[in-house]
Amino acid sequence: VTTVASPGFTAQAIKQADRMGWHPQWVISYINSDEMMFKFAPPELLEGAITFQALKLAAWTDDPAVAEHYRIMSEYGG
């Protein structure tokens, strides 16, 4: 099942499918690859889910690429 919904709606779909005893392969949009998804759905229901893309989190300020992003944004008023 492919979903391109926000984390809250994706979690609702996954939890409802679980309640119905349906356990398909989930393919979820990149926004759901964020760790905040675990606030909406328990990890055991997300096991095996595939995301379209993985992005670095803005909170990873120790990561060189994220730090460079912040530097560039600051330099150009972003």
Residue 10, pLDDT above cutoff 90: yes
Q: Report the alpha-carbon distance of residue 16 to residue 10 in Å, rounded.
A: 10
> What's the CA gap between 17 and 11, in Å, rounded?
10
DSSP character at residue 2: E
Q: Is the pLDDT of residue 53 over 80?
A: no
Rounded Cα distance between 48 and 51, Å, is 10
pLDDT at 30: 82
CA distance 51 to 34: 10
CA separation for the pair 73, 29 (Å, rounded): 26
The answer to pTM > 0.85 is no
- Mean model confidence pLDDT for the chain: 91
Residue 4 backbone dihedrals phi, psi, to 5 degrees: -120, 30
